[in-house]
Structure 1
Amino acid sequence: MTDRPDETVTERDLEVLAEQLGRTPRGVVGIAARCPAGHPLVVRTLPRLDDGTPFPTTFYLTGPSVVAAASTLEANGAMKEMTAALAEDEELAAAYRRAHEHYLAQREALGHVDEIDGISAGGMPVRVKCVHVVTAHSLAAGPGVNPMGDDAIARMEAQGLWRRDRCTCG
């Protein structure tokens, strides 16, 4: 992972997150990725929420335009295509398994939760179940860590759905 030197969450970040999510954000311990204007795109969340609920989604996609782009990819069948690619390409599958291990290590660094031990998110390590999760992981970790998230971002850009280098937050 490309370690972010400062993932500090400000009061303004929490306000923006509440607007983005339409609810009070839960378990946020860092802003794992921001748009070029500095708005949150991905939050880092605790593996157990304040109410005791296990929460496996360490990297949670929040930026409205990238969330919409991920939803469009899902609606257009990207998950099925990506999962098929994993079955056909052993190197890609191995890289995705490494992404799964990376995800688990990042969550474990925030605390151990028995109920979700060994379970990452988004279908890792054998399928792509959620484009939002793999995209969030890729944005948080940087290119080359999660190949399916990198693929999703490339698809978004190629289809004109979203670009990492432009703020479309509002």
Structure 2
Amino acid sequence: MPAEHTAVDAADEAAVAAQLGRTPRGLRAVAHRCPCSLPAVVQTAPRLPDGTPFPTLYYLTCARLNSRIGGLEADGRMREMTERLDTDPDLADAYRRAHQAYLAERDAIEPLGTQVTAGGMPSRVKCLHVHVAHALAAGPGVNPFGDETLVELGDWWTPGPCVSPPA
């Protein structure tokens, strides 16, 4: 696992379950932690425990961040971003590179035999949650729409943990 990713322990799994409101599936690592130390993004296995393909490598778990991103999606941000792909070749190239990086990282774990990544990559934007998760897990400069969304959201973590840390 990449150096910035950490193994999932029982407290992480409990925190993610509280964030999601359900038992998490296919957890491989914590890919990004909030400043409060709880997981914000987890890396999931390319296949769920029952063998079902799950192409979403990075899954956003922070309830507060999920809610704030949902507001941007409701405002039509994905449509605006998709339209920009047709008019900004540099942005389209950066987005294509994000897709390729996501696919290469997932396939290094387990190839699914598909070019499908997540979030509409590389031709449209259909889920900002995926792009933010990718940006937080990979760091700045990898996913342009994830980076852009994080800048727009600002300090989303400042009110404190999104759930009570597990005992």
Separation of aligned partners in 1, 2:89 and 2:158: 31
- Could you tell me whether the CA contact under 8 Å between 2:19 and 2:162 is conserved in 1? no
- Could you tell me whether the CA contact under 8 Å between 1:138 and 1:145 is conserved in 2? yes
Separation of aligned partners in 2, 1:155 and 1:71: 13
- Could you tell me whether the CA contact under 8 Å between 1:100 and 1:124 is conserved in 2? yes
Asked if residue 28 in structure 1 is aligned to residue 27 in structure 2, the reply is: yes
Q: Residues 1-170 of structure 1: matches in 2 within 5 Å?
A: 3-114=2-113, 117-157=114-154, 162-163=155-156, 167-170=160-163
Cα gap change, 1:76/1:14 in structure 2, threshold over 3 Å: closer, same or farther?
same
Separation of aligned partners in 1, 2:141 and 2:53: 28
SS in 1 for 2:132: helix
Separation of aligned partners in 2, 1:168 and 1:37: 6
| 1:86 Cα offset (Å) | 1.3
Q: Deviations over 1:44-71 (max 9, x none)?
A: 0001001111001000000011101111
List structure 1 segments (4+ residues) > 3 angstroms apart after TM superposition.
3-6, 164-168
Separation of aligned partners in 2, 1:155 and 1:169: 19
SS in 2 for 1:31: strand
Identity of aligned residues (%): 49
AA partner of residue 146 (structure 1): N
Q: Deviations over 1:110-141 (max 9, x none)?
A: 11123xx2111000001100010011000100
SS in 1 for 2:28: strand
Separation of aligned partners in 2, 1:69 and 1:102: 26
TM-score by length of 1: 0.90
Length, aligned pairs only: 162
Cα gap change, 1:97/1:165 in structure 2, threshold over 3 Å: closer, same or farther?
farther
Cα gap change, 1:6/1:97 in structure 2, threshold over 3 Å: closer, same or farther?
closer
Give 5+ residue unaligned stretches, structure 2. none
Cα gap change, 1:6/1:145 in structure 2, threshold over 3 Å: closer, same or farther?
closer
Separation of aligned partners in 1, 2:131 and 2:58: 9
Cα gap change, 1:143/1:32 in structure 2, threshold over 3 Å: closer, same or farther?
same
